[in-house]
């Protein structure tokens, strides 16, 4: 063992002695290992292929015997010095076949990051042949899915009996956990900031608190079916272990079956893996998977999963390439009252506006509706800033209009006309009529809000306040002050003279451009010009489509 490995071993032993052993140091990178939480003790001989992977005399990870000379585990467990095979009680070494590791190999494109891990798989070559029984591996996605459809799988490993424990269990444990659809798993993890899932994963657990993989059980197997076929390798258990609504993540064995044969120097002839190279992307059925849009909340320790109601067809329009930056506040809202479902498909064809009962937050902390908002009010535009409302392009309390209503996973609801621009996280802004379930928009507290439902309603009032920032927080969601009728940056630039004059107490546009037939003559002329421009653009887009 080299000096670097010795230093890592000393640090890890020190952490264990001071009760911090739940962190496993992997080649200088802090990495949460995982151990079984809940479950029950495994019987003697129940899992003869199970391996305890040892470094400096300590159990650090799990693994499985896949060939008389090879063991399968997770890449982040490396390096490993010794493998204990086939036993149950680690206090009785005589139960195990103990063999030193000759060599090990991780996937060429293994990557360990703070928000994602790719190709977390490795094989260990033993110094001599083992006499133990080998595990059966899932060889293809179809077989994998047939096993997964049976509902539950079994995770096996040594380790902590609870999240509060800091010492590994000496007795092998097993826990039965449900297999979670990958599309649902994507949806749950999208609710976490910055967490992404690689296509070569399978998810399990997370329907109840206190049962699943946790600190120290990395590299161990996820087994399915009556014959304990290995379908996964423990890789990641979320920000904390055994949490409801956060399934554990396992490297999907069937996606890497060819790599396993290739890395363990086994013949590829007749396996369907002929010509395999590590440059190949896993041939996964997850490759085109999209988030289901499901949301998950915890009630009395159990996960309650809700699915979005299918939204009505949305008329496509040209993509918008520009938008002022987004903003932030946490105004939790419920569904507005006095709303009528709209069966038409127009989805608010007029210029972008909000209904009268939409809410904004003033600098004083008071929350008011659009009906009560006035020129000169200072409203929230992000978590740290407020901006002055300097005019309304629409202010029509008596109007009845069709609005697109968007709901998020955090129960925030916003209604806006179909042409109004809505910023999206890490994507170009989009008109509300084109928003899709699964899009991520920004909350006014800086949070990532997952769109889970899109509907359409008729509501009262038609308001479009403009702030000096060009953005505004409405019902806890960051939105633009502009529409798809004119490029948002251009529109903001064209209104620069008005903003400058307002600073001097002068106005070219008056209070509003359109206010129930009131307003200046210039206001009405500009309102008519904007409406004609909007209709022209809409016709042009329709002809292009």
Residues assigned a catalytic role: 76, 120, 218
Tokens describing residue 348: 């608010």
Whole-angstrom CA distances from 422 to 2, 314, 434, 484 are: 56, 15, 10, 10
401 forms bridges with which residues in the sheet? Answer: 459
- How far is residue 382's CA from residue 390's CA, in Å, rounded to a whole number? 18
Q: Which of 359, 365, 387 is nearest to 463 (CA)?
A: 359
- How far is residue 452's CA from residue 432's CA, in Å, rounded to a whole number? 14
- How far is residue 232's CA from residue 224's CA, in Å, rounded to a whole number? 9
In the 8-state DSSP scheme, what is residue 371?
G
For 511, half-sphere exposure in the C-beta direction (CA atoms, 13 angstrom radius) is 13
- How far is residue 472's CA from residue 185's CA, in Å, rounded to a whole number? 32
Cβ–Cβ contacts within 10 Å for residue 333, how many? 18
Tokens describing residue 473: 């927080």
Residue 521 exposed, middle or buried by CB count within 10 Å (0-12, 13-18, 19+): exposed
Residue 126 exposed, middle or buried by CB count within 10 Å (0-12, 13-18, 19+): buried
- How far is residue 309's CA from residue 363's CA, in Å, rounded to a whole number? 36
Cβ–Cβ contacts within 10 Å for residue 200, how many? 25
Tokens describing residue 403: 């609005």
- How far is residue 516's CA from residue 527's CA, in Å, rounded to a whole number? 12
Tokens describing residue 19: 């009760």
In the 8-state DSSP scheme, what is residue 132?
S
- How far is residue 467's CA from residue 464's CA, in Å, rounded to a whole number? 10
- The CA-CA-CA angle for residues 286, 37, 188, to 5°, reads 35
């Amino acid at each position: 063992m080299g000096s670097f490995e010795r230093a890592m071993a000393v640090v890890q032993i020190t952490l264990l002695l001071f009760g911090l052993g739940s962190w496993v140091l992997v080649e200088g990178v802090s990495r949460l290992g995982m151990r079984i939480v809940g479950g029950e003790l495994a019987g003697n001989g129940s899992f003869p292929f199970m391996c305890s992977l040892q470094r400096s005399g300590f159990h650090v990870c799990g693994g499985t015997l896949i060939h008389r000379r090879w063991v399968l585990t997770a890449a982040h467990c490396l390096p490993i010095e010794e493998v204990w095979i086939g036993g149950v009680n680690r206090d009785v070494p005589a139960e195990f076949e103990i063999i030193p590791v000759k060599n090990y190999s991780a996937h060429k494109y293994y990557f360990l990051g703070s928000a994602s891990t790719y190709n977390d798989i490795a094989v260990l070559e033993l110094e001599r042949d083992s006499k133990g029984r080998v595990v059966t591996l899932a060889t293809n996605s179809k077989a994998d899915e047939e096993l997964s459809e049976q509902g539950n799988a079994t995770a096996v490993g040594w380790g902590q009996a609870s999240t509060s424990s800091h010492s590994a269990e000496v007795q092998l444990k097993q826990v039965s956990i449900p297999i979670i659809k990958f599309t649902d798993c994507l949806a749950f993890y999208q609710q976490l900031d910055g967490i992404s899932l690689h296509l070569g994963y399978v998810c399990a657990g997370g329907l109840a608190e206190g049962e699943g993989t946790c600190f120290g059980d990395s590299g161990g197997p996820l087994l399915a079916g009556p014959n304990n076929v290995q379908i996964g390798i423990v890789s990641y258990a979320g920000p904390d272990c055994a949490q409801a609504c956060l399934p554990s993540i396992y490297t999907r064995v069937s996606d890497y079956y060819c790599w396993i044969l290739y890395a363990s120097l086994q013949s590829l002839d007749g396996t369907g893996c002929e010509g395999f190279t590590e440059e190949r992307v896993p041939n996964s059925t997850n490759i085109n998977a999209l988030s289901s849009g499901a949301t998950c909340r915890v009630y009395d320790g159990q996960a309650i999963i809700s699915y979005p109601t299918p939204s009505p067809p949305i008329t496509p329009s040209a993509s918008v390439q520009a938008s002022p930056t987004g903003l932030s506040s946490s105004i939790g809202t419920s569904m507005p009252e006095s709303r009528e479902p709209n069966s038409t498909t127009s989805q608010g064809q007029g210029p972008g506006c909000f209904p009268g009962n939409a809410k904004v937050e003033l600098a004083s902390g008071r929350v008011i509706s659009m009906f009560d908002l006035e020129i000169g009010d200072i409203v929230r535009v992000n978590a740290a800033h407020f901006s002055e409302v300097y005019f309304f392009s629409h202010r029509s309390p008596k109007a009845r209009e069709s609005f697109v209503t968007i709901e998020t996973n955090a129960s925030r609801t916003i209604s806006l006309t179909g042409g109004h621009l809505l910023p999206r996280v890490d994507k170009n802004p989009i008109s509300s009529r084109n928003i899709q379930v699964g899009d991520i928009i920004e909350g006014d507290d800086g949070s990532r809000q997952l769109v889970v439902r899109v509907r359409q309603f008729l509501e009262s009032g038609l308001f479009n306040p403009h702030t000096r920032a060009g953005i505004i927080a409405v019902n806890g969601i960051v939105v633009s002050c502009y529409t798809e009728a004119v490029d948002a940056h251009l529109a903001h630039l064209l209104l620069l003279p008005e903003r400058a004059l307002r600073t001097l107490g002068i106005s070219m546009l008056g209070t509003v451009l359109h206010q129930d037939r009131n307003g200046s003559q210039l206001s009405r002329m500009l309102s008519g010009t904007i409406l004609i421009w909007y209709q022209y653009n809409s016709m042009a887009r329709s002809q292009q489509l």
